[in-house]
Structure 1
Amino acid sequence: MNTPMRRLLLTVIGAPAAALAVWALAVPLAGITLTARMGAAPQPVGPVLVIVASLVAGLAGWALLAVLERRATRPGRNWTIIALVVLVLSLSGPLTSAVGAAATVVLLLMHLVVGAVLIPGLVRAAT
């Protein structure tokens, strides 16, 4: 596996690892009840959901970057702008669906941590 591909893969794997670390500090260690309204009733936000959601975000970001690299003149710049907009929009999820102030803070932090890993990591790995 070549170095750029390895970096991309490590970045996509690093995002769920970072989000899971935040979850582990907040839920089992700090004892915060992490619950969000998903549909009709509040649901607990467990480690599987954290891993799957951040992995999907990483893979989607990687796919978009690959498309932009083939079609755009400045793929890194365009991707970074799109990724930042998506990150800001994603913050509305915890603000509107989290149950309680502590859950809101933890979910916002997880979104920001995933963005902090993916945005610079994917751009650097691709160039």
Structure 2
Amino acid sequence: MNKSLRRPLIVGGAAVAALVVWAVAVPVAGVALTVHMGGGPQEVGPVSVVVASLVIGLAGWALLAVLERVASRPGRVWTVVALAVLVLSLLGPLGGAVGGGAMSVLIVMHLVVGGVLVGGLARR
């Protein structure tokens, strides 16, 4: 695959994977994907899923680009940081989801996005 296309495709793929999880869980399985936000409960919709996935994917890509310029083992450093961020990101669904179904779906979504990004971005 063309190197200049690989990383954007991985970031986009992570967003698509998260959207697939949302589509299976919410419209198909009927899970109410609700979280506690600021003033009260809020539904997590497809736009939020895609935007959040793209933001974290682009941030991860940017960090990797910086590490490739300054670190002797950028892939290894990036993978450790990315896995730490993934573990910390799970605190969101654990503390903010409304109900067990929403918590399960959000955890799966985080793991899917993290898996795509960690598995794809650090590889050369």
Is the structural similarity TM-score above 0.5?
yes
CA offset digits 1:70-108 (Å, max 9, x no partner):
000000000000000000000000000000000000000
Give me the whole-angstrom Cα distance separating, in 2, the residues matched to 1:19 and 1:81: 22
Give me the whole-angstrom Cα distance separating, in 2, the residues matched to 1:24 and 1:15: 14
Give me the whole-angstrom Cα distance separating, in 2, the residues matched to 1:115 and 1:5: 21
Give me the whole-angstrom Cα distance separating, in 2, the residues matched to 1:78 and 1:57: 17
Please report the TM-score for the alignment, with normalisation by the length of structure 1.
0.96
The correspondence of residues 54-73 of structure 1 with structure 2, limited to 5 A, is 54-73=53-72
Match for residue 8 of structure 2? 9
Percent identity, aligned pairs only, is: 65
Please report the TM-score for the alignment, with normalisation by the length of structure 2.
0.98
Matched, 1:51 2:47: no
Give me the whole-angstrom Cα distance separating, in 2, the residues matched to 1:36 and 1:4: 38
CA offset digits 1:24-49 (Å, max 9, x no partner):
00000000100001112110000000
Match for residue 112 of structure 1? 111
CA RMSD of aligned residues (A): 0.9
Report deviation, 1:3.
Answer: 1.4
Report deviation, 1:17.
Answer: 0.1
Report deviation, 1:4.
Answer: 1.5
Give me the whole-angstrom Cα distance separating, in 2, the residues matched to 1:73 and 1:100: 44
The correspondence of residues 81-120 of structure 1 with structure 2, limited to 5 A, is 81-120=80-119
Give me the whole-angstrom Cα distance separating, in 1, the residues matched to 2:37 and 2:77: 32
